[in-house]
Structure 1
Amino acid sequence: MTRASSDRLVVLMGADGRLGSRLAFRVAAAGGRQRLLVTGRGATPRLPDGAPLPETEVVTVPAELTDGSPETTSRVLAGAFAGAHAVFLVPSAVRASRLPLQRAAVDAAVLAGVRHVVHVSSVGAGPDAVSAVARDDWLTEQYLRGTDLSWTVLRASVFHRTLTFAVHTEASGADGAGVLQAPAGDGRVASVSHDDVADVATAVLLDEDQGRHTRRTYHLTGPEALAFDEVAAALAEATGRPIRYVPQTVEQARALFYRSTSAEVEDWITLCQAIERGDLARVSPDVGHLAGRRARSLADWLDDYPAEWAHLRLPSVR
């Protein structure tokens, strides 16, 4: 395990989120000093007995932080970054605030004299990316590259868990049959686990030789690229219920997710279109090189983390 230097403080944005909380536990286990920025939308990481993580300070920032001017947001974050050696920057889940908040965070890192920023981006990020999220992440990458900060970009694939939320129970399925529906055609995706990304982020943030990762871009994927019918088969094997893949049109996807916000629907649809085009099919060795172990396959993740896909279980098979 990577051991932390006692004189270096790292700040984790989004520490009450799924990725940030995993990273917080790893930094604590390595003996690192950290400051967790939380919004109250999720659970603040704590030890099993309810005690705070050792060498950890928690700072609550308002969830509506971007409602103010960019300058105000940057000043608030600069105060939260004070004294930090490195900052972990994870995108906001809310699309409207994603770019403003990330740019404000970069500005705040400059104001606070932070040495290194580790930014979570998307596989396929680019100015002409099909995925709306990947386009946003590219803009943040470019903004970060335009500063004098030392930086590392972690381009993560779609998470294993995300794929499980595209499964719906068939209305006529008396046996609880499910369908994995997505406008992804025959595309393949090398999805990744949150834990693998957290392990890589830990290795980068706590590395004594920061120059090793300066101005480097890593691609974080699982060990295999699966077609959606193979994803459905893996989910069926884990849950014990029939699940099949049914490709959708864009119009069908919009109709199915009508209860979601338009931005959320657009994020999902354009992600699937990127998968169909092959933008997320590449398998990268970077998780193995940086985490020191093989990346978890979807099947491994399903076996290791049943609580993460418990929503797929039917009452009769729980």
Structure 2
Amino acid sequence: MIVVTGATGTVGGAVARLLTEAGEKVTAVSRRITAADAPDGAMAMRADLADADSLRPALEGAGAVFLVPAGDLLGGAGSPDDLVAAIEAAGVRRVVLLSSQASETRPEAISHARLREFEAVLRASRLNWTILRPGGFASNTYAHVASVRADRTVAAPFGDVGLPLVDPDDVAEVAAAALRDGRHGGRTYVLTGPAAVTPREQTAAIGAAIGVELGFTELTREQAMGRLSQVMPVPVADGTLDIMGAPTAGELAISPHVEEVLGRAPRSFAAWAERNAAAFGTMAG
């Protein structure tokens, strides 16, 4: 049995679905999950990763865990040591951790300190671990849905700074492969898209996908901080803007790991936009 935490999230939900479709027995876990949120064939269980004891019932009989630290955990709640100890005590053999590329590229950043802690605890454990370090997600552009639907515009900072955004479904497919195959143990995979794409180019791709020419407004860092800090802890928002505005050479590099694991090139941002065009609405005419 495979436990998928963060199962109501973008990546965790896709991982749970991929695993059930592959015939695996899956327990889908999040703090507020309901049976309707879990894929057909998966069991839904509630647990808060900031409280390691709450996860123990879901771990019974599990052979692998997809571990997604998010929310309060990234702000310092809970204990990575306690959580990994609970996983080990349950007899789990394999853990795949969803971390971030910034854990390596921004080793001093406060915003990613907790993810670095999780990585270190896992590496010191007896578990067969795999660490995933995705860059920025293409799905972060869902933040523009309201403005695209309302007035056909996108507002974002650093309009001409590109990053190789990764399709979250690619991340989920790599995670599912690592959860099912122990040969990925001891590996750290950096996951990116196939090419850098700027916010202006993202706007154009979304517009092309829905058949509408969209306007673009460049925000100042301060304006962007005001928006991001409403949906994520302030240190995480600050670190995110650092990456968006002044990416390092490592953050600009195209990683080969998606192709190495999946045997195909990573999906482009344009392909992601086409597949998710309905979220932004089709307003032509």
- TM-score tier by shorter-chain length is 0.7 to 0.9
Name the CA distance, whole Å, in 2 between partners of 1:255 and 1:18.
Answer: 23
Instruction: Report the Cα offset of residue 59 of structure 1.
Output: 2.2
Match of 2:221 in 1: 250
Aligned letter for 1:110? E
Instruction: Report the Cα offset of residue 196 of structure 1.
Output: 0.8
Q: How does 1:63-78 map to 2 (within 5 A)?
A: 63=48, 66=50, 73-78=51-56
Match of 1:179 in 2: 154
Tell whether the 8 Å contact from 2:209 to 2:273 is kept in structure 1 after alignment: yes
1:118-152 CA-to-partner distances (Å, cap 9, x unmatched) read 00011121484476543331121112222222210
Aligned letter for 2:273? L
Match among 38, 41, 59 for residue 45 of structure 1 = 38
Instruction: Report the Cα offset of residue 266 of structure 1.
Output: 4.4
Aligned letter for 1:290? V
SS class of match (2:125): coil
Is 1:141 the equivalent of 2:119?
A: yes
> So what's the TM-score if we normalise by structure 2?
0.85
Name the CA distance, whole Å, in 1 between partners of 2:107 and 2:6.
Answer: 25
Tell whether the 8 Å contact from 1:189 to 1:227 is kept in structure 2 after alignment: yes
Is 1:30 the equivalent of 2:7?
A: no
Match among 94, 97, 100 for residue 122 of structure 1 = 100
Aligned letter for 2:225? R
Tell whether the 8 Å contact from 2:193 to 2:266 is kept in structure 1 after alignment: yes
Name the CA distance, whole Å, in 2 between partners of 1:180 and 1:131.
Answer: 26
Is 1:59 the equivalent of 2:45?
A: yes
Is 1:275 the equivalent of 2:244?
A: yes
Q: How does 1:1-318 map to 2 (within 5 A)?
A: 9-41=1-33, 43-47=36-40, 53=41, 56-61=42-47, 63=48, 66=50, 73-94=51-72, 100=78, 102-126=80-104, 128-129=106-107, 132-166=110-144, 169=147, 176-182=151-157, 184=158, 186-207=160-181, 210=182, 212-256=183-227, 260=230, 263-264=232-233, 266-279=235-248, 280-307=251-278, 310=279, 312-313=280-281, 316-317=283-284
CA RMSD in angstroms comes to 2.9
Tell whether the 8 Å contact from 1:131 to 1:274 is kept in structure 2 after alignment: no
SS class of match (2:44): strand
Name the CA distance, whole Å, in 2 between partners of 1:59 and 1:257.
Answer: 30
Aligned letter for 2:156? Q
1:95–1:75 CA distance, 2 compared to 1 (3 A): closer
Tell whether the 8 Å contact from 1:187 to 1:228 is kept in structure 2 after alignment: yes
1:1-46 CA-to-partner distances (Å, cap 9, x unmatched) read xxxxxxxx21111222222221112111211122222322575223
Instruction: Report the Cα offset of residue 224 of structure 1.
Output: 1.0
Count of aligned positions: 281
Aligned letter for 2:44? V
Instruction: Report the Cα offset of residue 217 of structure 1.
Output: 0.3
Between stretches 36-45 and 184-193, larger displacement belongs to: 36-45
The structure with more radius of gyration: 1
SS class of match (2:207): helix
Tell whether the 8 Å contact from 1:222 to 1:295 is kept in structure 2 after alignment: yes
Tell whether the 8 Å contact from 2:3 to 2:26 is kept in structure 1 after alignment: yes
Aligned letter for 1:241? V
Match of 1:5 in 2: none
Runs of 5+ in structure 1 lacking a partner?
Answer: 1-8, 48-52, 67-72
Tell whether the 8 Å contact from 1:168 to 1:180 is kept in structure 2 after alignment: no
SS class of match (1:24): helix
Q: Would you tell me which structure has more helix in proportion to its own residues?
A: 2
Aligned letter for 2:259? G
1:143-170 CA-to-partner distances (Å, cap 9, x unmatched) read 2222222210011122111024157749
Instruction: Report the Cα offset of residue 245 of structure 1.
Output: 4.3
